[in-house]
Amino acid sequence: MSNNAITTTTGTQRNALSALTAQLGLSDQGEVYNIMKATVMPSGASDEELAAFCMVASAYKLNPLIKEIHAFRAKSGGIQPMVGIDGWLKLLHERDDFDGMEHRYAEDNSWVECAIYSKTLTRPTVVREYMAENRMGSSPVWQQRPLRMLRHRATIQAIRYFCGLGGLADKDEFMEFEQAQEQTMRNVTAKPAAGTGAQQPKRLVAKPA
C-alpha cells in the first residue's frame, strides 16, 4: 500500500506515524497506517486518535503489532494506551542500571512481592501486592490464574517505581478506573434531587372564610 492512504492526515499525524514506522523498521507509512487501523485501533478510531496513540508508542519505543502496547476505547470516549506485561518488561530490560528481578510469595498465596535490583543503588525497589486488594471477580483470567495475575501486578508496580514511569497504565488499572467511574455515575443519578420525592414539604391550602 502506498502513502496515498494517508494524504488526508495532518502534518502532526504524519510525523507521529512516520516515527512509529521507523521504529518498527519499516518504510511504508501507508502500510503501517492500514495495519494499525485494521488490527490495533478500535473500530471507528479517528486519524487524530491513531496519531496520539502512535506518539505514545514511539515515545516509549513499544511495538503495538506484537502486543507490547494496546489501544482501548474508553467508555467516556477517546483512546487509552495500555501497556501489556511484555511492554513493561521491555521498558525494564532497556535500563542500563537494571541488575535482576526476584519474586517472593506468601505461603497462603495472599500476596506476591517483586524486588528489582539496580547496579547503582544499594537497596532494591520492592513492591508487595495483596490478592484481596487486586483480584477482579469479573475477570475470567483472574479467576483461572489469580497467582499469575497477581505476580504481573506486583511486577508492573515495581517497574513503575524503579523506572519512574508516569502516564502509563495497565489493563487492570484501566478497568478498575472505568468501574469506579460507572459506580460514581450510578450513585449520582440515584441520588434524589433536593425538594423531590417523599420528603417534599406539604403544600398549605387556604380555607375559604
Each residue's pLDDT tens digit in the chain (209 positions)? 344 455 455 677 788 889 999 999 888 889 999 999 999 999 999 999 999 999 999 999 999 999 999 998 887 778 889 999 999 999 999 999 999 999 999 999 999 999 999 999 999 999 999 999 999 888 899 999 999 999 999 999 999 999 998 768 777 666 665 555 555 555 655 655 555 555 555 555 555 55
Distance from C-alpha of 103 to C-alpha of 156, rounded to nearest angstrom? 12
Which amino acid, 106?
A
Distance from C-alpha of 106 to C-alpha of 33, rounded to nearest angstrom? 46
pTM more than 0.85: no
